[in-house]
Amino acid sequence: MTISQVESVGGELWPTLRRHTQARIGLGRAGTGLPTYHRLELQAAHAAARDAVHSPFEPDIVAAALRGEPTVRVRSAAPDRLTYLQRPDLGRRLDPADRAHLPVGDWDVVFVVADGLSSRAVHEHGAAMVRATTALLPTPWQVAPVVLAEQARVALGDDVASAMGAAMVVVFVGERPGMSAADSLGAYLTYRPKPGVTTDADRNCLSNIRPPLGLTYEVAAGKLAGLMGRARELEITGVGLKDESDHMEVGERLLQVAAGPHQGEGAS
């Protein structure tokens, strides 16, 4: 089959396929390059990704969206954004002065909302995920004040939980922007973290929380709360803890979201 024949067949399929993904597929060509529209779209996506990485974290936005929930603000050992990007190790450690002011208690869990590599993701989804998850926890759970962390990596949560005496930590963090999404939030659950000892293999991760194109708050919070309950029961997270939620149900719901208003086309 020649290139022209492939493009002819693909021209009929691409519009349908594009409705189900944000991936850049079937863009066509203008000579040896992309059509102008798609080239400009790609440049805009690249600019959005750069902006997401460099935009400052505004904890007031998250605190206001938490609607009165108690919060504590901390910084990592990275003094500024450039250092944070160049020295990932500093983003994993609390500023000593902030560590000294963290409240200590017999907490079952502490939620950390961290800017990570996309403040935009945290501003848009962080508070909503805290509220959605806490709403699913049983009443006896002792939840610590929400920690809002600036210039923070995932492992900063280990330091926070250790300093506060929390049994487990959930870090909601802005994920590294891609060319299709600059607002993706990740959730990392760790049981009994030990700063400098705990590894990524000791964590459970939910990625791509960004309704309506990624995981919805309802689905993500349900999976996370289920993992938290199992972690408390088994006293473990990471490779030893598996997500036992209904994958088929979640998958079907995500497909329905992706299909949008076109999901009923062709039905008899």
Instruction: Express each pLDDT in 192-209 by its tens digit.
Output: 999 999 999 999 999 999
pLDDT at 1 over 70: no
Helix/strand/coil for 225: helix
What pLDDT band is residue 108 in, cutting at 50, 70 and 90?
very high
Tokens at 3, concatenated: 């290139």
Instruction: Indicate the burial class of 244 (C-beta count within 10 angstroms; 0-12, 13-18, 19 or more).
Output: exposed
Half-sphere exposure of 168 (CA within 13 A, CB side): 27
| Per-residue H/E/C for 97-151 | HHHHCCCCCCCCEEEEEECCCCHHHHHHHHHHHHHHHHCCCCCCCCECCEEEEEC
Q: How far apart, in whole angstroms, are the C-alpha atoms of residue 25 and residue 251?
A: 22
**DSSP of 49-101, one letter per residue?**
HHHHHHSPP-HHHHHHHTTT--EEEEEBS--SHHHHHH-TTGGGSB-HHHHHT
Q: How big is the CA angle at 46 (ends 42 and 47), to the nearest 5 degrees? A: 115
Task: Please write the tens of the pLDDT for every residue from 200-235.
Answer: 999 999 999 999 889 999 999 999 999 999 999 999
Domain 57-245 has CATH 3.40.605.10: no
> Does residue 99 contact residue 159 with C-beta atoms inside 8 Å?
yes
* pLDDT score, position 267: 39
Task: Please write the tens of the pLDDT for every residue from 83-106.
Answer: 999 999 999 999 999 999 999 999
pLDDT at 52 over 60: yes
Beta strands 71-75 and 109-114: pairing type?
Answer: unpaired
Task: Please write the tens of the pLDDT for every residue from 59-69.
Answer: 999 999 999 89
Helix/strand/coil for 206: strand
* pLDDT score, position 109: 98
